[in-house]
Structure 1
């Protein structure tokens, strides 16, 4: 039997969910302004969850959105295990959608911080 979450924890989780969702919309708008076509939001699969799936030219970008107190903190928050899950999720999406099979898979990040413009980091590497 599961214990119910404390009310403060539920409120904190709900606020984080809303903040994360808003950050994803900001990131999507930023990418679209840069010429990307957003193909999906919060795609769930065996490999993991993809915040944004976007395409530009011959590139299929699996985009992780991170909102932190500073852009540097956001950039450093992508851990190797999460990077591996993003690669697996992106490969699964590409395998299951024939129109995307020929595209180059790339892991990108949009870092957000209060009072700063979003920062789009292309081709993030494992452990970055």
Structure 2
């Protein structure tokens, strides 16, 4: 693995830890981390009450880079992975959604609630 790839992996894990802390501070309980499926990976799965949230975390070195950190392709992959694991993690009557948490050093995390709206 290259130094650049190793650094990106380390920063990504740091971002996921910070996102988990942020979720906890805002009343959520992280119930799973780095859930791998054949369709992709879910960074965090969190629960608060009757809401199950699949969270995509994006870490960037500069705040300006956060605006382009997430796109429809990545969200669709998270949605496909969430569909595969939701039967295992969801309880009857749960609301489910996909959120994105964007993190850059020196900035409070930015959360996009219900970031994925399936196309009809």
The 1:105/1:18 distance shift into structure 2, 3 A limit, reads same
Counterpart position of 1:11: 3
Contact 1:66–1:75 at 8 Å: present in 2 too?
no
Give the SS at the match of 1:21. Answer: helix
Counterpart position of 2:101: 110
Contact 1:38–1:54 at 8 Å: present in 2 too?
yes
Structure 1 residues not aligned, in runs of 5+: none
- What is the alpha-carbon distance in structure 2 between the residues aligned to residue 108 and residue 35 of structure 1? 15
**Alpha-carbon shift at residue 33 of structure 1 (Å):** 0.6
CA RMSD of aligned residues (A): 1.7
Counterpart position of 1:35: 27
The 1:33/1:64 distance shift into structure 2, 3 A limit, reads same
Provide TM-score, normalisation by structure 1: 0.81
- What is the alpha-carbon distance in structure 1 between the residues aligned to residue 57 and residue 83 of structure 2? 19
Larger radius of gyration: 1
Structure 2 residues not aligned, in runs of 5+: none
Counterpart position of 2:91: 100
Paired residues in the alignment total 116
Counterpart position of 1:120: 111
- Deviations for 1:2-55, whole angstroms, at most 9, x for unmatched residues? xxx6xxxx1111111011001100000000010101011111012210000001
- What is the alpha-carbon distance in structure 1 between the residues aligned to residue 114 and residue 30 of structure 2? 17
